[in-house]
A and B are shown apart, each in its own frame.
Chain A
């Protein structure tokens, strides 16, 4: 199994630009999570999906952030417009059913100039 796949691995953009992060969960997993990690705030859950449906997005910072999961094998996290304070590592994770084990992807390192 390839594990959770995230792309791009690194992204550098300018303030005001749109950024789209992508995630492919492990095949068969039905829960997907987006996390953000910064030095100041550590690891924070942004949003999670169950069976492609967003269940809790209370961690999404503001309206500039949006996430979609059009099917069981793909999710996106979009930031529009991006700001320097959005610079962080964004992780996607997936899990199966009632399993408590979340499998994390390698992360996308985002730098907004």
Chain B
């Protein structure tokens, strides 16, 4: 069985500050891990994904995430927040052993000027 927990339904940061969105997963098989972003009134789009290659994954718009097997985590970071980063972010887990992707509940990021 697989599951995803995103810590914090809302995160607020100041423009220029570090962005850290937390994701912990549970998987009985080697996981594939995804971060999707949803801008207001739009569908989800892929930010980055981990496929068991490099543990540090770089995505679009300056975001990156690090796969830590010992901590079962895949936290999303960005060194300096921009106003345009305000959106909802979803962590998801899949893998070669199954079909579906399991989505977390989402974290809404607010960026203050």
- A and B associate: no
Q: Which residues of B contact A (CB under 8 A)?
A: none
Q: Which residues of A contact B (CB under 8 A)?
A: none
